[in-house]
Each structure stands twice: as structure tokens, then as C-alpha cells.
Structure 1
């Protein structure tokens, strides 16, 4: 719901935005540490435990973020943005949300196809409800990885665009998602 009196997004939207950013960075980045550990090692298992747990946290954050985005009061679109730029931003946000939802869900499905249980920081475990299909799992793994790469590239473009608005165009686009300055 648009509130033209707001200059920034509400705290809940800003907090969920930055928590999602953190979760994506950790889930994506931790996988690159896997190469440092041999198969079957405790270190490698910890990498996967972290990746899956953070992926589940991302799903939980999105379950909060999406209704919050729909229901929370938010500022009107920045006056600095032309109509074509607002449309492009809406498309980019839509793609980001699609990838943010689909990528971790596909990762969970991948784990289940491998016959693995999914654990959330060892607080609870969800056993695989489906049969093992390693051939299909390999196909799903490729799609999951491609979607994760696309998510990170799109998020980097999103961040770069926000930085251009802030440092080059010197408008309010990024400030609206940052904490208030003192």
C-alpha cells in the first residue's frame, strides 16, 4: 500500500531485504568452500549443512517478506525514476523474487531426490518424502546451479544500479532502503 508521506521503506521491509541479501550471499558463497574439503569429510558435511540450513532460512524469510511487501505501507516510487525505468525495476524485482523462491525450493527437491533429509541448523530435520532418483537429481542440480548463478548476477546488477543511483545520479533510490542517517 503506497503512502506518499514515507521517505523510506518501513523497518520491516528494510530488515527483511538485508537479511535476504545476507542469506543469499552465505548460501551461494559457502558452496565455494566445498573444494577445500575431501568427500566424506566433516568439513564438507558442515558446508552442506550450512548451505541447506541457510537455504531453508531464505525460504522462511521470503514467507515473511512477500506478505510484508504486499501489505506494508511503502513510499511512492522515487520521483527520480522515469516510467520506463520504473517498469524495468518492476520486472527486475519480479525476476529476483521468482529466483529467490524457486532456487531454494529446487535445492530442497534436489536433496530429497538424492534421498537426503533436510535439516535446519540441526533444530529440526525433514526426511525425504520421495524416492531416490540420482539421474533426475543430476538434471535438477544443473537447473538449481544455473538459477543460483542467475540470481546472483541479477542481484549484483540490482546492487550496481542502486550504487549508480546513489553515487552518480545522487538520488534517493538507495537511501530509501538504508537505515536513517543521523
Structure 2
């Protein structure tokens, strides 16, 4: 009887300490890449261009239906313009993939890892994350809204922080109407 009581007590203590010092990982929801969309828009003195990039993989992490984290891998080899056709589209797509811009042969993916998530309203969150493009990592801040199994996020990215300097007035003089603004927009419509 004493041995059974001792064994029960030891099991209870082990269970208590195990649960006390174990971090419970939230509910990880994989993003459906075939039903999600990532749109970019870049601006220049004489106008703008826009297009898409495919999400290679991604997930959002929830704790009791509250967003707590996320991580995404973007397939940079898929970057392409949607506002041009034919020869002009081919030229822009090729230039974006070249070393002048994203160097996709050497850097085929970009990543975004959430480092801080704070609720900012019903279904809305302010997120800080580490974005890596061309092997360079910098913090970014953005907002994300979640409704059911869908999410929408938008952020501005300063391309020069990631060594994407082509046509930037921050690095080149006398560009005049050939100048391309440093910031571009990303808008994600996600389904998970």
C-alpha cells in the first residue's frame, strides 16, 4: 500500500513538473498556397508596375483563435508582372529576376518570420517580423486581419535594405524620369 501511494505521488509530481515546464505550441494552420495570392506593386517617377509572386509555403499559429505567430517562404523565381503583355512583360520579368533586382538564381526564396504579434482590434493584429530577401534580414511591421479561414495583410518594403538598388535615387544621381522609388507594396490574401 505504501509503495502504491509512493508510486502515485511520484507519477503526480513528474506529471506536474512536466506540464509546468513544457511550452504548449499553438494551433498551426498551413496556408493553402493554391488558394492564396501575393501581389506586389512597385512605383517609378513615370508610373507603376504590379504583379504576383507565389507563396511556396506558409503557416499561421493560433492560441485559442488568437494569432500568435506565422512563417512564410516566397518563391522568388515566380515573380512576374500582370500589367504588361508580350515582349514588355518578358523584359520586365527577366529584369526583376536578374541581379539588378532580386537575383533569383542565387536567391530563389525570400522569407518572413513573425517575431511579435499584438491584437489591435477585433480580428486585427499588428505584426513585427523578420523579412529576408537576397540573404539580408531586416525587421518589417505590418497589419493583418483574419476572418474565419482567411487573412489579409499589407506591407511596405524598402527594397534598398535588401541590396535591391537598381534605379534608386538613394544611390544614383541624375536618374530623372528613370528613377524607381525605394518602397514597394505587398498585399497578401491568404486562405488556410
Provide the TM-score with structure 2 as the length reference.
0.25
Higher strand share: 2
* Structure number with larger C-alpha Rg: 2
Q: Which has the higher contact order (CA 8 A, sep 6+)?
A: 1
Higher helix share: 1
